[in-house]
Chains A and B, each alone.
Chain A
Amino acid sequence: MKNYQHIMQLILTVIFILIPLSLIAKNIDLSTLPSRDSVQLTIYNSEDLTLVRETRQISIKKGQNRLQFSWANTRIDPTSVQVEFLSHPTQMHLSNTTFPHDKPQMLYWNIKSTLEVLATVEISYFTSGITWQADYSGILSQNGQTMALDSFVTVTNHSGEDYENAQVRLVIGKINLVERVNELVRQANYKKDKMKERKEILRSRMAKKMMAKPSGRYEMAAMSEAVMDSIAEEKQVSKDSLSEYYIFSIEGTESIPDQWAKRLRTSFAQAIEINTVYRYRPREYGNLLARVLIFKNDKKSSLGDAPLPEGKVQIYQKNQQGSLTYIAGLPLKYTSIGGKVELNTGTDPDIYFELVSMKNWKDNIWMHYRKGNLYRRIGDGHMIVDHKSTVAGWNEHRAYSQHIRNFTDKTIKVEIRRLISGDAVVKSRLEINKHDFQTVDIHSTLTVGEKQELQYEILTRKGRNAKQNQVIIQKL
């Protein structure tokens, strides 16, 4: 039992002031610990931030009421705590909020009411320590053409507080914060340390109350007497957009005790069509031919109802025996609806891929004669023999052969992207496309066992021959 971590830390002490306020400035006539009627967690993954909204029933007297709220040993942002009167918004209003100088993690709400009634209030605040993370599990079919993809979210609670039967909403998106919640908490804790003795007294008192609070392993509690008329289904996760963000709302409520984590499946796609492409893109994947699995976050893939949050994906493949072979654990980047997911699973030893430099030569060599500041090209005739002349400009030719051999048992697509520096011309019989001003793409398909030699020549102008950095493609 971690009383010091429990809601004692988040104590709602209602102090009903039955006598004039001026007479009771120091102490409590009557206090209750109303339980939470509901609690909702809205957890942001871009920041260590969770918005907690909880509702409670509180007896309110006509006239002035004083409500004490404290949150020792939690990670609540003290500047974010708010109260609203849900049931009687016009009959009650918050006169002021007092932050006592000697009790840093505490406040008093002074409430004026025109009714004596059992009111429903909503208390909201930000806390840190509750996070969520997406992760995925993909199982490729034996032929690698489809993949079953499970998407999960795992909520981890290190907030110092147990949240029972909480509605859980998860926010995907990058929000802006000017101050981090955990920094605000740290500042508050600094102040708290200075008042250690007084806090110990408070903690001791609250701990006694917390001893009466049911605790334990929430999972076990939930499984008691679990007899149902029909089989329980997985919880549905509804996905809605809000401004620039997406919100995953988990059906029903969840209990997430402090220090526990809970993982739920958010979607399942049975057979996503996978486009496997072998890519050579040194800037993206390093100096290797990477096997890249590509699929779209769309309806055709049984996805597409929300973006795929950033997370790690574990990829397996079914083998001939029906068991699984591990392929890779990879990061999956945030993918918008309709966006492409590209997973680099590394090299495939059954594909031979080597760039062979076949031949180099130079031509269009210009000599510079200091005497007279003249330029003459070798081979043009009218050559002046001058031992002091120097080479001033030339063209370099490099003939390459990209050797590829497909030792796999299926047809493969290969995409090669090469950076070509300088003022260059690429000559080839191949279909070569320009990616940008200095990068070209070569695509090819190889059947089972096929061997290809993709030949091309790069002409680079050097010295005074070079005009500007560019790549021109010349089909032969």
Chain B
Amino acid sequence: MKHKVLYSVIAFSLCAVSVNTYARIKLITLPVREHVEIQLENTNTTIIEEERIVPLKKGTNDIDFSWHNTTIKPETIVFRVLKDASNKAESVKTNVLSVSYPPNESALTWKVSASQDGSARVRITYAISGLNRNYHYIARTNSTETKMEMSQYVKVNNQSGESFLDADMNTGIGENIVLPMGLNEAQEFLNQQYDNVPINKTYTVNASELGYRNRAQDKLNVLMHYHLHNDTKNNLGKHSLAPGKFRIYQQDKKGTSVFVGEDWGKYTAIDDEGKLFIGEARDIVVKRIIERKKRQRINGNLYNIDALVKYEIENFKDKPVNLIIEESIPSLRNEVFSSRQRGSYNNIIEWEVGDDTSISTKPLKKQGSSQKIAYQITLPARNGQAKVVKLEKKLNITFKNEW
């Protein structure tokens, strides 16, 4: 037997066995696995389904199943006798009568009755630990960063204590693939390939969440993201995208690929949108200062606070870009209320956009909430060697009814 472990022993006792017989094995047959499927769809639990053809004698048969030195979860074992597809009258009818668990062994015995001599195809299903999979992606964008080729790979690592020859790998996505899964081996295979996937590149600043590149100079970090939509319109949408690492390469002018960054992609359902962080942009400079804060007493200890945030933006790239400016309302309030005691009982923030705001576009609805406001503005490209245009945008927020 090739297996390191005597893993699945089907023992039949067909003949008379004296009452004094101690051993469980009168006659052993070792039916080979007819089919093995490694079911990888569940993130946390891998299922093995194996089929064997078991010879049965008319009467009661004992089928032993043992799993020494493997990591099978015994409470998950399911034993099914599959229906004979031929539906012949002479096919063996079976009943599973009971299951017995011997002491101090990783084993069990199914007691199965058979209507006549013959064989039955049985399927044994169980969860096994140590047989894990993870996804990763290789993405290649074109030189203009408008489209992407995306290859999804699955790596299956077998530390389960058992080998599975010619296993049908089922990831729940696409076609199954047959691969040998040796003991302590890993197998990696291409699971899905997506071409011509449109991507949208954005640049984002957020003082509280993404921080400053240079705090002394008030220069914000400018982070780059690719956005992709998992739908058929964007040449995806056949399956949900499993979470995994994306390695992103870009084609340069010589036709070779350059690694431009990597990120953990989140689970993206069909029709949902995914976002990949690919690095910091140095050719877009955004300075942020609080130009004004003014306290206006209403009465007693009741105030309104007026804050004006100024952004100075320069695009040194030779193409126009979309910049998303996000402002966290609680953080801004803390900045303008820095001298006040924080964490008071007055914990909701009432605010509105003031008249001194100079951003002409409307706030982005998707990113907007009572805690955040966001705008998207388009920055013009640098015009050759001409001086870069410095845009100045102001956001006026009034915090109301504070005390």
Which of A's residues lie within 8 Å of B, judged by CB? 135, 137, 139, 154, 156, 214-217, 219-228, 230-235, 254, 258-265, 312, 314, 316, 319, 321, 323-327, 329, 349-350, 352, 356-362, 365, 367, 378, 383, 385-391, 394, 396, 398-399, 405, 407, 449
In the assembly, what is the distance between CA of A365 and CA of B240, in Å? 50
B348 touching A362, Cβ below 8 Å: yes
A224 touching B19, Cβ below 8 Å: yes
Which of B's residues lie within 8 Å of A, judged by CB? 13, 15-24, 26, 37, 39, 41-42, 45-47, 49, 57-62, 75-76, 78, 93-104, 109, 111, 113-115, 125, 127, 170, 172, 176, 240, 267, 269-272, 297-302, 348-350, 369-371, 400-401, 403
- Name the distance in Å between A406's Cβ and chain B's nearest Cβ: 9
Known: A234-B97, A324-B47, A325-B172. A217 touches B102 (CB 8 A): yes
A316 touching B61, Cβ below 8 Å: no
B42 touching A325, Cβ below 8 Å: yes
Pick from A214, A222, A367: contact of B302, CB below 8 A.
Answer: A367
B267 touching A349, Cβ below 8 Å: yes
- Name the distance in Å between B50's Cβ and chain A's nearest Cβ: 10
In the assembly, what is the distance between CA of A254 and CA of B97, in Å? 12
A326 touching B45, Cβ below 8 Å: yes
Given A222-B60, A325-B41, 12 new contacts (CB under 8 A): A215-B22, A217-B21, A226-B60, A231-B95, A314-B75, A316-B125, A326-B39, A326-B76, A358-B370, A362-B401, A386-B299, A389-B299
Pick from B76, B97, B350: contact of A235, CB below 8 A.
Answer: B97
A396 touching B348, Cβ below 8 Å: yes
26 A-B pairs with CB atoms under 8 Å apart are A139-B78, A154-B99, A216-B19, A216-B21, A219-B62, A219-B109, A222-B60, A232-B113, A234-B96, A259-B104, A260-B101, A263-B98, A314-B76, A323-B49, A324-B39, A325-B41, A325-B47, A352-B269, A352-B272, A358-B369, A365-B401, A367-B299, A378-B302, A387-B297, A387-B299, A390-B300
- Name the distance in Å between B374's Cβ and chain A's nearest Cβ: 13
B369 surroundings in chain A (CB, below 8 A): 356-358
A367 surroundings in chain B (CB, below 8 A): 299-300, 302
Known: A326-B39, A326-B45, A350-B240. A360 touches B349 (CB 8 A): yes
In the assembly, what is the distance between CA of A227 and CA of B46, in Å? 39
- Name the distance in Å between B334's Cβ and chain A's nearest Cβ: 16
B21 touching A398, Cβ below 8 Å: no
- Name the distance in Å between B115's Cβ and chain A's nearest Cβ: 4
In the assembly, what is the distance between CA of A222 and CA of B18, in Å? 10
- Name the distance in Å between B108's Cβ and chain A's nearest Cβ: 8
The 4 closest A-B CB pairs, nearest first, are A389-B300, A259-B103, A407-B269, A232-B113
Q: Which of A232, A261, A365 has the most CB of B within 10 A?
A: A232
Q: Which of B17, B102, B301 has the most CB of A within 10 A?
A: B17
In the assembly, what is the distance between CA of A358 and CA of B76, in Å? 46
B37 surroundings in chain A (CB, below 8 A): 321, 323
- Name the distance in Å between B25's Cβ and chain A's nearest Cβ: 9
- Name the distance in Å between B257's Cβ and chain A's nearest Cβ: 31
Pick from A225, A226, A329, A405: contact of B76, CB below 8 A.
Answer: A329
A260 touching B42, Cβ below 8 Å: no
**Which B-chain residue is minimally distant from A264 (CB atoms)?**
B98
B99 touching A263, Cβ below 8 Å: yes
In the assembly, what is the distance between CA of A228 and CA of B97, in Å? 14
A391 touching B300, Cβ below 8 Å: yes
In the assembly, what is the distance between CA of A28 and CA of B52, in Å? 59
A405 surroundings in chain B (CB, below 8 A): 272
In the assembly, what is the distance between CA of A128 and CA of B51, in Å? 40
B100 surroundings in chain A (CB, below 8 A): 219, 260-263
In the assembly, what is the distance between CA of A350 and CA of B300, in Å? 52
- Name the distance in Å between A258's Cβ and chain B's nearest Cβ: 8
A357 surroundings in chain B (CB, below 8 A): 369-371
A398 surroundings in chain B (CB, below 8 A): 348, 370
Known: A221-B19, A350-B240. A230 touches B75 (CB 8 A): no
- Name the distance in Å between B91's Cβ and chain A's nearest Cβ: 12
In the assembly, what is the distance between CA of A378 and CA of B298, in Å? 9
